[in-house]
Amino acid sequence: MRDLVAAHGAISRSAPWVALAVFAVVLPGLHVAGAMDIGALNTWGKFLAIAIMAIGLDLVWGYAGMLSLCQMLFFTLGGYCMGMYLAMHGPLDGDGIPRCLFVVSSEVSGTTLPWFWRPFASFAVSSTLVLLLPALVAGVFGWFAFRSRVKGVYFSIITQALTIAAWLVFSRNESRLCGTNGLTNFATILGFDLRAPSTKLGLYLATVAAVAGAVALARWLVATRTGRILIAVRDNESRLRFAGYQPVAYKCLAFAVAGALGGLSGALFAAQNGIVTPSFMKPETSVVAVVMVALGGRGTIHGAILGALLYKWLENELSTLIANHWNFVLGGIFIAVVLFMPDGLVGAWRALGAWLARTTAARDQATVAAMPAKAAP
């Protein structure tokens, strides 16, 4: 039994590093050796990009206890910031108009480039806005919501309403964001051909590095005093207020960090996916993001990554194998996890470790109690 406890601990400590080695070294190595197609590597790159979004949601929901249903809004905002830069450096029609915008324009007098498109000609500006714009939206919206002490299911409802409103705005041609067609016709990034395998490999490695950075940031944040206050907000916000703390600023910070991570996720996804549309932030997509975190285990960081990767892999495989029924199978798997592993896969693994430790300790105590006492001299 002691060997099992030691093995469980060793696996728990080494699993994140093994996963990093697999994604950072093994998969690219397989591609370079010709054993993995660049398309498969690109698919895993998109899965890893989505995992960054899940980390942000885990910070807000898993650690601060705020069930946000607008994480995919931040994802889409980041995707549009990067997509507008890519469209500006793709095929241009008319007077320097990105083709994806030109083809949906209904202006009789001729299409002109909207003023808010012009800054996205710069990669530096676009990259800054990828992080800044979602974080600013999250921070401002969170400030008004948290100051009004909106929480629980009401917070979930208003975040869902915000996402629906944004989806409707982005879907209108009048918004000059290409309507429901979205942004497409991406050709280059920083002068590199997006269709080239070397560029796709570079974007994949950049995504792996971003995941590692997001994990490091999240682990650092939850280990600080701010992280402990966020956990206190989740466990009993009223008691925290009675203790003299004002949790509004801390909640806004967590929400803004989640927004920035969502934006980074969307930008990396857009560059590898080749298209960004308002459908990315349909109401059900944010619910799916919650499913990912719950599947892996909220409040664990690594569980968010595991849940996102597992969900997207299952979705990809099942939609190919059983195209007409994959939603039912995936839904059944999620229901089973919620019923039998309410703390998710990582939570179940930790519970197994705790059970092994308790069982080992109980056996040791029983062994000691069964040993004959030494006779007094």
How is 133-163 classified by DSSP, letter by letter? HHHHHHHHHHHHHHHTT--THHHHHHHHHHH
Tokens 């946000």 sit on residue: 68
- CA-CA distance, 25 to 19, in Å (whole number)? 10
Tell whether 375 is covered by a domain.
Answer: no
**Where does the pLDDT of residue 315 fall: very low under 50, low under 70, confident under 90, or very high at 90 and above?**
very high
Q: φ and ψ at 13, to 5 degrees?
A: -75, -35
* Tens digit of each residue's pLDDT (9 = 90 or more) over 8-34: 889 989 999 999 999 999 999 999 999
Tell whether 13 is covered by a domain.
Answer: yes
Tell whether 47 is covered by a domain.
Answer: yes
In this prediction the pTM is: 0.93
Instruction: For residues 361-369, give the mean pLDDT.
Output: 81
Tell whether 352 is covered by a domain.
Answer: yes
Tell whether 217 is covered by a domain.
Answer: yes
Range of the domain at 351: 2-366
**Where does the pLDDT of residue 102 fall: very low under 50, low under 70, confident under 90, or very high at 90 and above?**
confident
Q: Residue 42 to residues 31, 45, 249, 264, 302: CA-CA distances in angstroms?
A: 11, 5, 38, 17, 22
| pLDDT score, position 96 | 84
Looking at residue 186, the DSSP 8-state letter turns out to be -
Q: Is the pLDDT of residue 329 over 90?
A: no
- CA-CA distance, 197 to 231, in Å (whole number)? 43
Share of the chain above pLDDT 90, in %: 73
| pLDDT score, position 197 | 95
| pLDDT score, position 324 | 81
| pLDDT score, position 133 | 97
**Where does the pLDDT of residue 237 fall: very low under 50, low under 70, confident under 90, or very high at 90 and above?**
confident
Q: Residue 230 to residues 66, 215, 222: CA-CA distances in angstroms?
A: 10, 17, 8
In sequence order, what E strands does the chain have? 92-93, 97-98, 188-189, 192-193
Tell whether 371 is covered by a domain.
Answer: no
Residues ≥6 apart with Cβ < 8 Å to 129: 81, 119, 120
Tell me how far the alpha carbon of residue 55 is from its chain's centroid.
5
- CA-CA distance, 260 to 280, in Å (whole number)? 17
Q: φ and ψ at 111, to 5 degrees?
A: -80, 135
Tell whether 354 is covered by a domain.
Answer: yes
Tell whether 142 is covered by a domain.
Answer: yes
Tell me how far the alpha carbon of residue 212 is from its chain's centroid.
13
Looking at residue 183, the DSSP 8-state letter turns out to be B
* Tens digit of each residue's pLDDT (9 = 90 or more) over 243-278: 888 899 999 999 999 999 999 999 999 999 999 999
Q: What's the total number of domains in the chain? A: 1
CA dihedral 212, 214, 216, 222 (to 10 degrees): -150
